[in-house]
Amino acid sequence: MAVLLYFLNRSQSSSAKSPLPAGEYEVFLNFRGSDVRYDFADSLHTYLKKYEIRTFFDEEELHKGEEIDSKLLDAIEGSKIYIPIISAKYASSRSPLMELAHMVKCCEKEKGHLILPIFYKVEVGDVKNQRGTFGESFRELAQKHDARTIREWKNALRTVTELKGWTVTPTTRQGVTIDEVFLKARKHLMENYRQVTNQLVGIDSHIEKVKELLNREVQTVGIQGMSGIGKTNIAKAVRKRILIVLDNIDRSFELDTTLGDLANFHPESRFIVTTVDEEILKFFPKCESYKPDLMNDDIALQLFSRHAFGSDYPPTGYMDLSQDFVEVAAGLPLAIKAIGSVVFRKDKKFWVAKLKMFREIPDEQVQKRLKIVYEELSLDEKHIFLDIACYFIGEPTDRPSFLWDDSNLHPLVSIDTLCLKAFIKINERNELWMSLIKVDGDNKFWMHDHVRELGRMIIREGDDQHLWKRTRIWSNEDAV
């Protein structure tokens, strides 16, 4: 059970061969072919593909004329991240310069794009001012093009040299640079993805109904329903002048010990209680109950699309499959998010195989469906997920991260993936609520009850009869 406090003013407002969903590419690699194609660019491309980041890598050398090929235009405009690898001979070909100029235009025209420049065995100043070997190549090429085109290229080069990037010299450890580029790219993609997935879907009507109840002559509104239906999100989204939220309480909750006599609170104070157990609400005087319905198909499809595609609706060719996945999620927001995340960045063959697996599990067995999502995690991600489920819910993220880092579990990448899969959430100081027990503002792990129980169920499956054989023990009684 978590107690959530709000003190708010009343004036506040409430490169794959198979088809890929949600845009074909996320990252566009820009380089001069003969310089780095089989060296740095190939290594970076391979690394990004390993972590399922859809990356455009021009293996066909599509430039054949004065204009950019339509496939290249689509790849540039659809990508969120541009990585120009600028080498000494980069400016000896018009192709990378034309691409670079178009990238800069896209960044100026639309937010959400990011350029991560890499200066490969060339000085940044030589690129900015067209000096040295780079300058010689540029001037030779410039003789064949008009003044307007040359001006666009110079502006694009000046723009990227003023951005924070990487310089690769003959003594640079290229593997370290590639890892840093990957982490920066992944962080940006995650931020863009979260901007979509963090937007609440289908919650407005619930907010209005709870607000209506709070405006009546009641002191408490109880939001009651099955786990995963969205009770906590509704409670967090409702704002009043003074509001105490008691989240996910059960029969072990002692009202008098925790809050005392509710009659002692200000007459305008309001309480929201979320619980699975309707009987709990009988202990609260002047309490009205609200039971959220399961999501209807249209809203469920929108929520699924945000987690599967990063957009509000499925792209062409994915509508029927998306509706099938929404059906197996049975209107439960938690299941919709988790199922959507497991097919994110996957091709249709994967979708069809996973749909068959989900359909074989009865609707009421939510944890078994979530386990399919768990099985898609890497070994490092599974290890960290189980640790959080058993020990670190509500704990600051930095404490166990040191332990995981020492064990080479790559916590930065693994935690990002778990957030993406809707398995964990990190509560930051600027979110709507914080734990009553710890209010220091540090990032803390949060996990839904269903997900927590999934992790602990997996541990118990290892050996339920012999506690000493379990990989983790979280209960004081079991430890004794």
Q: Given the residues 99, 208, 376, 461, select the one marked as catalytic.
A: 99
Residue given tokens 């070909």 in the structure block: 93
- Determine phi and psi for 457, rounding to 5 degrees: -65, -40
User: Exposed, middle or buried: residue 81 (CB in 10 Å: 0-12, 13-18, 19+)?
Assistant: buried
Q: Which two tokens stand for residue 368?
A: 């078994």
Give the torsion through C-alpha atoms of 365, 366, 368, 374, to 10 deg: 180
Helix (H) or strand (E) holding 4: strand 2-7
Using alpha carbons only, how large is the chain's radius of gyration in Å? 27
Q: Which tokens is 303 given?
A: 């929520």
* Element (DSSP H or E) covering residue 277: none
Could you tell me the two tokens for 219? 């002191």
State the DSSP code for 119.
E
CB 361 within 8 A of CB 368: yes
Query: Is 431 assigned a catalytic role?
Result: no
Amino acid at 80: K
164-168: long-range contacts (C-beta < 8 A, 24 or more apart)?
165/116, 165/117, 165/118, 165/119, 166/116, 166/117, 166/118, 166/119, 167/118, 167/119, 167/123, 167/124, 168/40, 168/118, 168/119, 168/120, 168/121
- Least Cα distance to 329 among 293, 291, 292, 355 occurs for 355
One-letter amino acid identity for 165?
A: G
Pairwise CA distance, residues 101 & 109, whole Å: 12
Residues 314, 323: Cα–Cα separation, whole Å: 9
Handedness of CA 399, 402, 407, 408 (dihedral sign): positive
Eight-class DSSP state of 330: T
Distance CA(307)–CA(302), nearest Å, equals 9
Q: Which residue has the tokens 């002048």?
A: 241
Q: What Å distances lie between residue 253 and 164, 283, 394, CA to CA? A: 52, 10, 18
Where do the DSSP E strands lie in 33-178?
55-56, 81-87, 114-115, 118-120, 166-168
Nearest-CA neighbor of 154 among 133, 134, 129?
A: 129
- Look up tokens 């809707």; give the residue: 422
Answer for the pair 222, 235: CB distance below 8 angstroms, yes or no: no
Catalytic residues: 99
